[in-house]
């Protein structure tokens, strides 16, 4: 197995970019690679920590379709995005790369930068490997682009030992969740994790969608303003919780999985892919940690909203490894591939026919599929990119220095006004 490369900053990233853009990377090859459907496939991802998991699949994919990944993982998301976008201006675009759904993917599709995958999706739907709801996340003008790397539901993870020591049961209502946070804080335990970088949006999306899903949807279409009274009221709920000391130090550099393990906080709102990080930190699923669907803020909603995300794997349209990338993408959607990925990463499978080893994740998939839950698109994908960029910064600033929410909301709305005006 090849050595792990954690490319995130400085000389390492510059060297990698230079190699790819000058055609000297591992599998970039010459023009003969254009028709290749077996061999070594250059794969770039912004999930550097997952690189060993992708490597673990090489033995399975080698046997199944005679393709192995040559993976380069970036740990700096902004640097990764810039590198991928730069590569499109050359003839050396990566054969396979991870991206984002929503507006970020739409931009690449509109510019003709990613390969169409309609045939792969048609096969997947016919075989029962994917759902129509999932296909809609990858559909633009009735055509599909990219395939799902994964699917994740945003839930609340918790330290089981802390809950048991404090006599706290899994909350099933928002009032019960507030009561749990109050009890934890009284015992000197910080209830929730937060950060000031990247993953700054979770609690906002949970509060808004859990109060009124239509209000949440309106933010993504411009029909609702961030400065509307309903949003301000919701932000004040968040501020009140901040002032109660319910959230961890937003500037902490401790890995969140390690933080949950050592009791820096009792709960963390994260995607269901977090199981892999917790397992890697030495916690045991069902013994040291567990999860629950976060109750709706508004008890009168009837169903509980659950945030869902799906991160894509894409093939660059002008890549010399396009055929190889498409062949791997087709295999990736199969039950065998998704079963192997689940075993390697410990993730919820988007393919209903894949085997999910972790009973906790298997149960979660069943739970969110019942009639008492409603799925909504994660804020990161639901929000147009220019607005998202500002919002993440403002939520991060709010986490770092909580205060009157209006200046933060006004900054986001100013960017939203510019964006929606340009769409007219």
What token pair was written down for 345?
Answer: 């990463």
- What does CATH list as the number for 153-307+379-422? 3.40.190.10
Percent of the chain with pLDDT over 90: 77
Mean per-residue pLDDT of the chain: 90
Q: For the chain, which residues make up each domain, given as ranges?
A: 39-151+310-366, 153-307+379-422
Q: Tell me: pLDDT of 1 over 70.
A: no
Tell me if 39-151+310-366 shares its fold with 153-307+379-422. yes
Domain 39-151+310-366 fold is D-Maltodextrin-Binding Protein; domain 2 (3.40.190)
Q: How far apart are CA 74 and CA 78, in angstroms?
A: 10
More confident residue, 5 or 328: 328
| Mean per-residue pLDDT, 191-205 | 96
Q: How far apart are CA 27 and CA 39, in angstroms?
A: 8
**pLDDT number for residue 90:** 81
**DSSP secondary structure of 230-276:** HHHHHHHHHHHHHHTT-B--TT--S-HHHHHHTTS-SEEEEETTHHH
Give CA 213 to chain center in angstroms: 20
More confident residue, 118 or 22: 118
pLDDT band at 329 (very low <50, low <70, confident <90, very high): very high
What pairs with residue 267 in β-bridges? 158, 192
Between CA 159 and CA 166, with CA 164 as vertex, the angle to 5 degrees is 100
Question: How many CB atoms are located within 10 Å of the residue 357 CB?
Answer: 12
pLDDT in tens, 378-411: 999 999 999 999 999 999 999 999 999 999 999 9
What token pair was written down for 190?
Answer: 């910080």
pLDDT in tens, 48-62: 988 999 999 999 999
**pLDDT number for residue 370:** 86
Contact indicator for 3, 55 with CB cutoff of 8 Å:
no
| Mean per-residue pLDDT, 123-137 | 91
Q: Tell me: pLDDT of 9 over 50.
A: no
Q: How far apart are CA 353 and CA 370, in angstroms?
A: 18
pLDDT in tens, 236-286: 999 999 999 999 999 999 999 999 999 999 999 999 989 889 999 999 999
Among 52-56, 215-219, 332-336, 344-348, the range scoring the smallest mean pLDDT is: 344-348
**pLDDT number for residue 35:** 64
């Amino acid at each position: 197995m090849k050595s792990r490369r954690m490319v995130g900053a400085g000389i390492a990233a510059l060297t990698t970019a230079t190699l790819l853009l000058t055609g000297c990377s591992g599998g970039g090859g010459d023009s003969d690679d254009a028709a290749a459907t077996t061999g070594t496939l250059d794969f770039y991802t912004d999930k550097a920590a997952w690189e060993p998991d992708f490597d673990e699949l090489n033995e399975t994919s080698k046997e199944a379709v005679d393709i192995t990944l040559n993976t380069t993982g970036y740990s700096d998301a902004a640097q990764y995005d810039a590198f991928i976008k730069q590569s499109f201006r050359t003839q050396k675009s990566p054969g396979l790369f991870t991206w984002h759904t929503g507006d970020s993917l739409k931009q690449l599709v509109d510019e003709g930068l990613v390969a169409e995958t309609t045939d792969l999706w048609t096969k997947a739907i016919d075989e029962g490997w994917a759902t129509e709801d999932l296909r809609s996340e990858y559909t633009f003008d009735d055509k599909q682009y990219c395939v799902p790397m994964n699917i994740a539901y945003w839930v609340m993870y918790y330290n089981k030992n802390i809950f048991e020591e404090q006599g706290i049961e899994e909350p099933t209502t928002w009032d019960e969740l507030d009561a749990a946070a109050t009890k934890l804080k009284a015992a000197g335990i910080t209830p929730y994790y937060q950060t000031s970088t990247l993953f700054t949006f979770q609690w906002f999306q949970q509060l808004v969608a859990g109060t009124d899903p239509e209000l949440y949807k309106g933010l993504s279409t411009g029909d609702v303003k961030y400065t509307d009274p309903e949003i301000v009221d919701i932000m004040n709920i968040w501020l009140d919780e901040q002032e109660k000391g319910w959230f961890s130090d937003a500037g902490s550099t401790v890995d969140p999985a390690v933080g949950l393990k050592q009791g820096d906080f009792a709960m963390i709102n994260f995607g269901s892919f977090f199981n892999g990080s917790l397992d890697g930190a030495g916690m045991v699923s069902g013994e040291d940690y567990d999860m629950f669907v976060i109750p709706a803020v508004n008890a009168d909603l009837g169903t509980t909203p659950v945030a869902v995300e799906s991160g894509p794997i894409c093939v660059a349209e002008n890549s010399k490894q396009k055929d190889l990338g498409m062949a791997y993408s087709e295999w990736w959607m199969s039950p065998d591939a998704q079963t192997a990925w689940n075993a390697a990463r410990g993730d919820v499978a988007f393919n209903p026919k894949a085997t999910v080893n972790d009973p906790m994740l298997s149960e979660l998939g069943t739970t969110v599929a019942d009639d008492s839950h409603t799925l909504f698109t994660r804020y990161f994908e639901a929000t147009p990119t220019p607005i998202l960029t500002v919002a993440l910064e403002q939520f991060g600033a709010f986490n770092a220095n909580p205060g009157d929410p209006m200046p933060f909301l006004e900054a986001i709305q100013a960017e939203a006004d510019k964006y929606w005006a340009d769409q007219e």
